[in-house]
Structure 1
Amino acid sequence: MAKYINPYTDFGFKKLFGEEANKDLLIDFLNQLLPAHHQIADLNFRNVESLADLSAERKAIFDIHCKAVSGERFIVEMQKAKVKYFKDRSLFYVTFPIRDQAQTGEWNFKLEPIYFVAILDFEYDEAEERRKFRRDVALKDQDGDLFFDKLHFKFLQMPLFRLQEHELKTRFDKWCYFLKNLESFDHIPNILNEPIFQKAFGTAELASLSAEQRDRYEQSLIQYRDLKSALETAIEEKAVEIAKNAILEGADNKFIAKITGLTVEQIEKLSVELKKQN
């Protein structure tokens, strides 16, 4: 039996990062991702679940209104997701906080900065991007110069975070290690034995949940596992289709393994199957 919640479930994600009582955890985590001029002094959650045009899947997204240490206001859209067309959806989701800033009457169209932060427990299916655990994306021109400094995307592909306890150097490393391994911990590792993580572990402990909360978590865990299984099946099927086409084109097995993520043994088996069919 696990001792701590799975942070990728809707319940676990909200328990750690979506409650007023734990917003110090969220502030500490986000401040490791945000630039120096947008370090958070305070934040408020917008009740996005009350929006009339909200789809069910957007309930796992937090619309966070932040106040920087400098006094400037900005917005963070934070989510975890296991969906197809992930980048398309990310761009669509970020239109919500842009649109919501529109003012009636006279308005000069000045916008508050927006950061879109996604914590992903999967890799997107573009092979060249599987090598990047963290991607910081902004609007740039043809020379790579920043064109617009008010829209930033930050994607964390958690399966690609592979640092071990003795390799952690920054607070950001520690948060990623915490999220990646939380469900498998049975005690607080020495390197995370400091106040902010002690609170995070206490929040995530299953024994601290009420019976009603435990039931909600169990339902959330079932949904998470079902969705993860469906997504992994879809990705696997796509990889197999790509591999079959590459085999028919005469590509080298090691090259096919590299571009699909399949093992050489799986590709050899596919080759045998294709020969039998032909």
Structure 2
Amino acid sequence: MSSFEKNKGLSIPTDDGFLMSPKIDFVFKLIFGQENNKDLLLAFLKAVLGDSADEYEGIEIINNELLREFAEDRKGILDVRAKTKSGKQIDIEIQILPTQFMPERTLFYWSKMFTSQVKPGDTYDRLKKCITINIVDFICTPLPKLYSAYHLTEDKTGYRLTDILEVHFLEIAKLADLEISRDLRDPVVEWMEFLDAKSKGVIEMLAEKNQDIKKAYDLLQIISKDEKARMLYEAREAELRDQLTRLKVAEDKGRAEGMNMGETQKALSIAEKMLRRGDSVEEISELTELSPEKVAELKDKLFFRNP
């Protein structure tokens, strides 16, 4: 029985070779955010965080997503949250649509996760380390690295003020940049390639090298055959396409408006020079394609400024 079936109810299996993309947030959470797949979450966390295996024994999957408060968050950032036996909290986000101010919003939601640990009257010793892992399919940093980690350190000496803050960025989009050096045996890179895989062949090669990815691939195949899961997946894909289309339309509109504004400003500058030269309103209008009324308005302003 699939993870989806155990958690969401039985549905009819379909076997037509179709494979969902694991970087779609809905699928990512089915693979890494379910109690019965906890071993896959542990494998991923060990690869990214590099901690000892003992740290994650008895890890608890919370999955109570933080309340989203900004317009950008309507793009469907989905969390997998967990807590270790020592009390560390970990929030994993996967986001495939470009999001503005990603570092700022990361720290904002990190702070909510951090402060949610205490209640009025508690002491600071109750505050445990909070870790955010951002998996993004767009460029977030200018660094020539596929993934990066951040802490609170002193500028010159590198002294770490406290260990309570830790933020990771896994920038999937940079996998396409062949100039960025990478170790193909690095488990973090392997997981990133699994999430970004465009074909079964790529995943199968990764599965041969990494037993944890093989488990994830086996689960992905089961989920992909589930009819109900596929319906939800296709709906999520359509929603993401719509959001991406709206973003592109807005960008194109802003670019066109900027070009038009620039062209208008250039025409006004030419018209002003011609007015100072004594050319007629009709001549200026014909050359600059500004309306006669606009040229006359500009002429009045120039005359008022320079009586």
Quick check: TM above 0.5?
A: yes
Identity of aligned residues (%): 23
In structure 2, runs of 5+ residues without a counterpart are 1-15, 261-287, 290-307
The two structures have a TM-score, normalised by structure 2, of 0.65
Aligned to 2:159: 145
Mark the CA change 1:190 to 1:108 in structure 2 (over 3 Å): closer, same or farther. closer
The CA distance in 2 between the partners of 1:241 and 1:138, in whole Å, is 41
- Backbone CA RMSD of aligned residues: 3.6
**Separation in 1, partners of 2:161, 2:259:** 39
- Rg: which structure is higher? 2
The residue number in structure 2 matching 1:268 is: none
**Are 2:190 and 1:190 equivalent residues in the alignment?**
no
224, 227, 235: which one pairs with 1:219?
A: 235
Distance (Å, rounded) in 2 between the aligned partners of 1:167 and 1:107 = 44
Q: CA deviation at 1:28?
A: 0.3
2:33–2:63 CA contact under 8 A, matched in 1 = no
- Structure 2 residue 4 is matched with structure 1 residue 4: no
Seen in structure 2, the aligned counterparts of structure 1 residues 37 and 92 have a Cα distance that, compared at 3 Å, is: same
In structure 1, runs of 5+ residues without a counterpart are 245-275
Alpha carbons of structure 1 residues 85 and 188: separation in structure 2 relative to 1, 3 Å: closer
How far the C-alpha of 1:199 sits from its partner, in A, is 1.7
- Kept in 2: contact 1:121–1:157 (CA 8 A): yes
Q: Is the 1:77–1:115 contact (alpha carbons within 8 Å) kept by the matching residues of 2? A: yes
Partner of 1:25: 40
Q: Does 1:112 align with 2:128?
A: yes
Q: Which residue in 2 is equivalent to 1:201?
A: 217
Q: 2:61 aligned to 27, 31, 45, which one?
A: 45
Q: Which amino acid aligns with 2:154?
A: D
Match of 1:157 in 2: 171
Q: Which of 81, 87, 94 is equivalent to 1:80?
A: 94
Please say if 1:61 is aligned against 2:79.
Answer: yes
C-alpha distance in structure 2 between counterparts of 1:184 and 1:101, whole Å: 42
Q: Deviation per CA, 1:78-101: give whole Å up to 9, x if none.
A: 101232221221111112221210
Could you list the per-position Cα deviations for residues 90-122 of structure 1 after superposition, in whole angstroms to 9, with x for gaps in the alignment?
Answer: 111112221210134443443111110010011
2:207 & 2:32 partners in 1: Cα distance? 18
Output aligned runs, 1:257-268, within 5 Å. none
Aligned length: 237
Provide the rounded CA distance (Å) in 1 between the counterparts of 2:223 and 2:171: 29
- SS of the residue 1:103 aligns to: coil
1:187, 1:141 → 2: CA distance?
42
1:228: how far off?
3.4
**C-alpha distance in 2, partners of 1:118/1:200?**
19
The 1:44/1:234 distance shift into structure 2, 3 A limit, reads farther
Of 168-177 and 38-47, more deviation after overlay is shown by 38-47
Within the candidate set 26, 31, 36, 1:16 is matched to 31
Q: Measure the CA separation in 1 of the matches of 2:255 and 2:143.
A: 14
TM-score normalised according to structure 1 size: 0.71
Contact 2:135 2:169 in 1 (8 A): yes
Secondary structure of 2:239's aligned partner: helix
